[in-house]
Amino acid sequence: MNFRAYSRILDLLPPEFLHQLFIKLLQTKILKKKVIFDNLKINIFGKDFVNPIGLAAGFDKNAEVIDGALNLGFGFLELGTVTPMPQIGNKKPRVFKIPELSAVIQRLGFNNKGVEEFLNNLKKVKRVNNILGVNIGKNKNSKDFISDYKFLYEKLLPFSDYITINISSPNTPGLRDIQKKGNIEKLIKNLSAIKKRKPTFLKLSPDLSEENFSNICDLVIKDDFISGLILTNTTISRDSLYKKPVKNSWKLHEQGGLSGKPLKDKTNMLIKKAFSLTKGKIIIIGVGGVSSGKDAFEKISLGASLVQLYTSLIYEGPNVVVKILSELSVCLKKKGINNVSDLVGKNISYD
Ligand SMILES: Cc1cc2nc3c(=O)[nH]c(=O)nc-3n(C[C@H](O)[C@H](O)[C@H](O)COP(=O)(O)O)c2cc1C
């Protein structure tokens, strides 16, 4: 029986309970799938990645399963979102699986144990050959979002390889407004006053207006504080959902961010747009609906240097990472591309 078949049985259990089980399983470190593909090694912001496929933010919100997640074959992990103070998040149920569409709708609301516990966990990890990003967000009740981001940035900087400023989760009221002209400039100005730096990324929403998207692309080129963009977070749009009948169609109307397959085309379009607007001068991390080597190939070909995933782990199981890596590696060879870095932004079709 493959994981998809198991997954249908597991669908009967509450998604958050399953997530906890998965975390426990990974903590045992029994799932060791590390494999090296020479043509997938890539150097980005001066760091050697064993491969460009990373774990997206939201899976390991408290940095509690780092070694176990790396054992799945990921080239890097993005931990968090972490907030300064612990938060319980929104009322349950708040995660809804839509298996027919390989999608999830969730409104967790930055449930996490706060930065102190996050940092304690991070400090316990042996830092050899692993690349760890941290994704930071403001507390729901924070009166001053800038001081939340500054506090987290300074605190986590010594223990991370890169920092993601999350201003795009749809489940924290007002968070996405930070992306608007005026607010984003103010945030970057305050953060760039910090003396020390790490490669820093802005994670954007796929629902941004054209104007705000172009403004951020301009800003990233002009300002040397931001290394690049993570495209994208989940969407509040449901436009892509009604092509296929769904058993429990009430779920489609649940509030929250949609991830998985229905998000793929939108994120691809935005990666292409950002690559073109910035003339390939910034680092793009592509995320949204990646579950195969082809999906990863497409995002890289459109301009992403690195790729992340979350939802496909839920539907395809822990083997999905190695499956993606081997498919991507084989495809590069077939196309006569020596190394994955030679594919970035080349607009080569997979088929
Ligand atoms: C259950 C769940 C929780 C998430 N939590 C976060 C989060 O805390 N911070 C964040 O930046 N993105 C979060 N995301 C968004 C993912 O990092 C990713 O951007 C999005 O799901 C698209 O990728 P995917 O289609 O591979 O899941 C979450 C996604 C899911 C499904």
Q: What is the mean pLDDT of the chain?
A: 94
Structure tokens at 84: 């300064």
Q: How many CB atoms lie within 10 A of CB 281?
A: 10
Ligand 1 atom nearest 232 alpha carbon: 19
Global pTM reads 0.97
- Determine the length of the chain: 351
pLDDT on residue 39: 98
Q: Is the pLDDT of residue 246 over 80?
A: yes
Asked if residues 59 and 287 have their Cβ atoms less than 8 Å apart, the reply is no
pLDDT on residue 29: 75
For the segment 142-155, the average pLDDT, to the nearest whole number, is 97
What is the CA(80)–ligand 1 centre distance, in A? Answer: 10
pLDDT on residue 172: 94
301-345 pLDDT per residue, tens = 999 999 999 999 999 999 999 999 999 999 999 999 999 999 999
What would the DSSP string read from start to end of 5-42?
A: HHHHHHTTS-HHHHHHHHHHHHHTT--------GGG-E
Q: CB of 233 closer than 6 A to ligand 1?
A: yes
Q: CB of 52 closer than 6 A to ligand 1?
A: no
* Distances 112 to 115, 162, 167, 253 between C-alpha atoms, Å: 9, 20, 17, 26
Q: How many CB atoms lie within 10 A of CB 342?
A: 15
pLDDT on residue 1: 58
198-235 pLDDT per residue, tens = 999 999 999 999 999 999 999 999 999 999 999 999 99
Instruction: Please give, one letter per residue, the 3-state secondary structure of 226-255.
Output: CCEEEECCCECCCHHHCCCCCCCHHHHHCC
Question: What's at 83, amino acid-wise?
Answer: T
What is the CA(258)–ligand 1 centre distance, in A? Answer: 9
Q: Which residues contact 309 (CB under 8 A, 6 or more apart)?
A: 53, 54, 55, 56, 287, 290, 291, 320, 321, 324
Model confidence band, residue 290 (pLDDT cutoffs 50, 70, 90):
very high
Between the two ends of the chain, the Cα-to-Cα distance in Å is 29
Q: CB of 260 closer than 6 A to ligand 1?
A: yes
Q: One of 169, 227, 301, 305 is an active-site residue; which one?
A: 169
Q: Which neighbouring-strand residues pair with 175?
A: none
The protein residue whose alpha carbon is closest to atom 30 in ligand 1 is 58
pLDDT on residue 80: 98
In CATH, 3-342 is 3.30.56.10: no
What are the phi and psi torsion angles at 19 (to 5°)?
-60, -45
Domain boundaries, the chain: 3-342
158-198 pLDDT per residue, tens = 999 999 999 999 999 999 999 999 999 999 999 999 999 99
84-104 pLDDT per residue, tens = 999 999 999 999 999 999 999
Q: CB of 55 closer than 6 A to ligand 1?
A: no
Position with higher pLDDT, 167 vs 129: 167
Q: CB of 106 closer than 6 A to ligand 1?
A: yes
21-41 pLDDT per residue, tens = 889 988 887 788 778 999 999
46-78 pLDDT per residue, tens = 999 999 999 999 999 999 999 999 999 999 999
3-state secondary structure of 280: coil
What is the CA(255)–ligand 1 centre distance, in A? Answer: 15
What would the DSSP string read from start to end of 34-47?
A: ----GGG-EEETTE
Percent of all residues in the chain with a pLDDT value above 90, rounded to a whole number: 86
Active-site residue, 169 included:
yes
pLDDT on residue 6: 67
What is the CA(197)–ligand 1 centre distance, in A? Answer: 25
